[in-house]
Structures are given as structure tokens and as C-alpha cells.
Amino acid sequence: MNASIQEYLKNLRLTYIMSTNTKKNLVWAIRIIVAAVFILSALAKLWPNPVLGIGTFEGKYLSEIGITGGFAKIVSRLLIGLEFSLAILILMPFYLKKIVFPATIGLLAIFSVHLMIQTVGGEAGNCGCFGDLIPMTPLQALIKNLVTISLLILPLTILKNGLNEKKSINLLIYICLSISLLMFVLIPQGGVSGDVGKDLVVGGESEYSKYFEDINEGNKLLCFFSPTCEHCMETGKVLTELKTKYPGIMPEIRMLFMDEAGDGSLNDIKAYFEFIGAEYSYRVLSIEDFLPVFWSDHNFPGVKYLYNGEERIFFSGPEEGAFDYEVLFDKEKLLEEIKKEY
């Protein structure tokens, strides 16, 4: 009888150990998954490079909720730093039950309320949670947040025996502060604003005359390009071919470049002109300045035909997921429109 009881207790103990180990493994799986989501979210806001990525996030997404200018630069870096911090803290053992998990759930809940408001309001564009790397509608992002919250609740409830933590509030604070402050060092603070280029701006009538003083005189082609955009390069080459083939018809070309490199993009622009086989009058705008001029409502490449400052035809990139170059720029339609003035 005693042997049977001992065997029973031994089996019970083994079952408990196996159950505890299983819970620990499940908790670790949850921690790794959630940490990976936060790291991906942070890195996505820096894609395809830190200058362009964070500029897009500030100009396209933060500006939509009223966060602009220098404040947007602070918020964007703090948010990315917070995402990196949470990912690291979730994988470390400090105050998981009392601080890290509840704080993460609370943060996700706040963002979920905002996403819910957007969803109810009928917004279906990219919410910016994963930048432009992984476009997500507010509804998709809301579902993602709710799934993440559900995963984080499990280690605090039915899997709590599998979650061990240590108490070291100092390390917790040091990690958060160090990573957040590091973002301001590693992520560039912005590029050269709109006074890099070849033309002296003296003002004028239209919204573009502050970039080119003669933009309202006669017929002009105003191009909105990123110097490293392949389709912008191809469009520039086509325009050069048209200028060569129809020298008496094609208008003068003016180009507004987005400073994708964050340093004036002079090397990229030089390479751009070498590729297209000609050089035109241009200006360079920082990402923050370029966004309200073109990029907030249109995609690259952009070509606008102006006659005495009045828009006659405008070619620009399509919506996300419909990137067809032949649709973006139609040289025959452009020539047809230009010939109306002759």
C-alpha cells in the first residue's frame, strides 16, 4: 500500500513538473512572439532606410492625428524607442507581472481605441503601424492588437505558474531610458530643407513659384521625383528622349526632388541625371517639406504640365498595390496636351 501511494505521488509530481514546464514553454513562446511583433513594428517605421522611413511615418501618419513639426520628430523617436524597449523587457525577467505585461497591455489598449475610432469612421488606408513595409488598415491593426493583448493576458492568468520574474526596477528604468535616448542619436533628425538646389527663389503667384520663379511663365513640366526611384528614373529618361525628339514643342523641365538620403541627396541626384542623359533645373526638399507638396496625396513619379501656372494634365503613381508604370506616365497623352498650345 505504501509503495502504491509513493508511486502515485511520484507520478503526480512528474505530472505537475511536466505541466509547469509546458506552461513555461508556452509563456516563452508568447514572449518571443510578442517581442518579435514589437521589433518588427519598430524596424518597419525605419524602412527602407531611417531617413525615409521615419520621415514617412511623421509626415503621413503622425500628421493625420495632429502631431507635426519638431514635436513629431520627438514622438516618432520615443515611440520607436518604446517599441524596442518593450520587446527587450518582455524577454527579460524584471517585473513582468506587475509592470511590463500590464503596461504593454495598457499601451495596446490605448492604440486600439484610436484604431476602433478610425474603423468606425470608415477609414481603410494604411494606419502606419508597420510603416509602409506592411500596409495595414485600422481594422487589421485592431485585430492584431486584440490578438496580442489576448496572448499577454494568458501568462497573467491560466499560465501564471509558467511566468517567473525578478525585482529590479533600476534595470527596468535604465533599459527604457537608454534605448529611448539612443533613438535620438541613431536616427537622423531630418535632412536639408527646401533651399538646396540650383534656382534662387524670389516668390511668385502659384504655390510652386517659391521653388521656381519662372514656373508661371509659358508652358513648363514640373516633376516630383525621388532620385533613387526606378520609375522616376525611367520617367526622366523618357522626358529627355522627348526633349531631344521634339525640341520645339517640349516645355522646359523643372524637378522637385525628395531628399531621401537626408543630406541633400547630391550624389543620388548626380547619378540620376547621368542615368537620364541630361540635367535640368531642380530643387531638393526634405521629406517633411516634400510630403505636403506632393507625397501625402500622390505616389512617385509625378509629372505635371503647367501653362502659365495653370495645371493642364498631371501624371502620378497609382494607389498601393497597383504599380503599373505604363499607367503612371503616358507620353502620348502628354504630347497631345502640349500640342494644344501650338
139 pLDDT more than 90: yes
Number of structural domains in the chain: 2
Give one DSSP letter per residue of 111-141, joined into a string: HHHHHHHHHHTT--S---TTTTTS---HHHH
**Residue 141 shares a structural domain with residue 264:** no
In a domain, residue 213? The reply is: yes
How much of the chain exceeds pLDDT 90, in percent?
38
Domain boundary among 152, 186, 220: 186
Confidence of residue 296 (pLDDT cuts 50, 70, 90): low
**Residue 25 shares a structural domain with residue 82:** yes
333 pLDDT more than 80: yes
What pLDDT, on a 0 to 100 scale, did the predictor assign at position 95? 92
Q: Indicate yes or no: pTM above 0.75.
A: no
241 pLDDT more than 60: yes
**Residue 286 shares a structural domain with residue 214:** yes
**Residue 215 shares a structural domain with residue 311:** yes
What pLDDT, on a 0 to 100 scale, did the predictor assign at position 176? 78
Domain boundary among 150, 168, 186: 186
In a domain, residue 179? The reply is: yes
196 pLDDT more than 50: no
Residue environment code for 173-205, b if the CB has 16+ CB neighbours within 10 A, otherwise e = eebbeebbeebeeebeebbbebebbeeeeeebe
What pLDDT, on a 0 to 100 scale, did the predictor assign at position 42? 92
**Residue 16 shares a structural domain with residue 102:** yes
Q: Which of 178-182, 252-256, 263-267 ranks highest by mean pLDDT?
A: 252-256
**Residue 287 shares a structural domain with residue 143:** no
The CATH number of the domain where 303 resides is what? 3.40.30.10
Confidence of residue 175 (pLDDT cuts 50, 70, 90): confident
Peptide bond before residue 135 is cis, with ω within 30 degrees of 0:
no
**Residue 328 shares a structural domain with residue 220:** yes
pLDDT digits (tens, 9 = 90+) for 71-87: 888 888 989 999 999 99
Question: Higher model confidence: residue 304 or residue 174?
Answer: 304
100 pLDDT more than 90: yes
Question: Higher model confidence: residue 93 or residue 162?
Answer: 93
Domain ranges, residue 219: 196-339
Question: Higher model confidence: residue 200 or residue 285?
Answer: 285
**Residue 249 shares a structural domain with residue 300:** yes
User: What is the pLDDT of the chain when averaged over all its residues?
Assistant: 82
Domain boundary among 149, 167, 186: 186
**Residue 99 shares a structural domain with residue 23:** yes
In a domain, residue 222? The reply is: yes
Our CA dihedral for 95, 101, 106, 107, rounded to 10 degrees, sits at 100
In a domain, residue 191? The reply is: no
**Residue 283 shares a structural domain with residue 174:** no
Q: What is the mean pLDDT of residues 272-300?
A: 86
**Residue 121 shares a structural domain with residue 9:** yes
Can you point out the beta strands (E) in 133-290?
196-197, 219-225, 252-258, 281-285
